[in-house]
Amino acid sequence: GENVEQHPSTLSVQEGDSAVIKCTYSDSASNYFPWYKQELGKRPQLIIDIRSNVGEKKDQRIAVTLNKTAKHFSLHITETQPEDSAVYFCAAFKGGSQGNLIFGKGTKLSVKP
Amino acid sequence: DSGVTQTPKHLITATGQRVTLRCSPRSGDLSVYWYQQSLDQGLQFLIQYYNGEERAKGNILERFSAQQFPDLHSELNLSSLELGDSALYFCASSASGQDSPLHFGNGTRLTVT
């Protein structure tokens, strides 16, 4: 089955700096890669996603890149703000009749003012 | 608000007991997912249903079972509860169960004493 590795597990940056979180997946058939943000005690919320036919996608300060050959994808947050502090999860979806979404273990991002 | 409704919000019960967690998906979504999140842990995939049929199964214990009803709401049944079952249980729904975004409910926090 699919396995998703996420690094780093914790990340501390200064406000205004950039943050990068990386994930690798094992199943080359995976074709959909969302990123979720989870604030303490709250539900995960989708912040950006990318499909396997696209190499990069950007939404304001957030961007995701995908390297299908190397089977890894990354989340980039620029000009970080204290409200970006949260746990971020990457995930990979393998299509087909038995498809499901497998999550990485999460990255706890702390943005210091 | 994601449109996914989970009840109850909190549940406190004793070891050996049985509980039922309920989830109503977003209007129009056919697929329901269940995830378990223990303290400071990631999202462990339990099971997925699509239009009433089981589609994928994760590391769901034999003491746990689920179903999706004709009106598309889903229930997760946890029996012979153990202390280690204490966790936040999330339900999520998606339109197709394929490469479409998951929308999470606010979760049910289960405490087993």
Residue B97: pLDDT band by 50, 70, 90 thresholds?
low
pLDDT at A95: 65
Structure tokens at A112: 């210091």
Higher-pLDDT residue of A11, B41: A11
pLDDT tens digits, one per residue of A50-59: 988 889 999 9
Name beta bridge partners: B5: B24
pLDDT in tens, A25-55: 998 888 899 999 999 889 999 999 998 888 9
pLDDT of residue A52: 83
Segment B49-82, tens digit of pLDDT: 999 999 888 889 999 999 999 999 999 999 999 9
Residue of A nearest to B90 (CA): A43
| pLDDT tens digits, A63-78 | 999 999 999 999 999 9
CB contact under 8 A, A43 and B90: yes
| Cβ distance of B99 and A31 shorter than 8 Å | yes
Cα separation of B45 and B95, whole Å?
Answer: 18
The dihedral formed by the CA atoms of A47, A45, A101 and B23, expressed in degrees to the nearest 10: -150
Closest chain A CA to residue B100: A32
